[in-house]
Amino acid sequence: MRRTFLFIGLILVLGVIAAAAWAMRHKELAEITPPGPGGFAADLVKQGKKLVSIGGCASCHQPRSGAGLSGGLRLETPFGAVISTNITPDPKTGIGAWSQAAFIRAMREGVNRTGRYLYPVF
């Protein structure tokens, strides 16, 4: 009888943990329609360039050919190879369809717009 109660208690605790993990999962953030090239104030563009420089984005996201921040650089890690992603404003292949909230979540939590972890390095 006592083992039965312990077993039921264990199952309930595991159920609560599973429910909490499911509730805390990262939800997908909606795509946005990116503004045109003239849709950004000059001071915001300047601030963005400064953040790219300070953050060292080019060290991983700029291919050896030097063509922008289009990614494709293979980085070997103890966990396997990581291929850097395209962080250009292209809405199809880059992050152009990401909202500000999606970008902030990627920078702070290492989770992309669709709710997946960016890399095993986070």
- The arithmetic mean of pLDDT across residues 47-58, rounded, is 90
Number of helices and strands (H, E) in the chain? 4, 2
Average pLDDT, the chain: 84
**How high is the pLDDT of residue 86?**
92
Residue 50 reports pLDDT greater than 90: yes
- The predicted model scores a pTM of 0.66
- The arithmetic mean of pLDDT across residues 80-87, rounded, is 88
**How high is the pLDDT of residue 122?**
44
Best-predicted range by mean pLDDT (5-9, 37-41, 65-69): 5-9
Does 38 or 50 have the greater pLDDT score? 50
**How high is the pLDDT of residue 78?**
86
Neighbours of 93 (CB within 10 A): 11
For the chain, percent of residues with pLDDT exceeding 70: 95
Reported in sequence order, the residue ranges of 6-120 that DSSP labels E, i.e. its strands, are 74-77, 80-83
**How high is the pLDDT of residue 120?**
66
DSSP H or E run through 43: helix 42-55
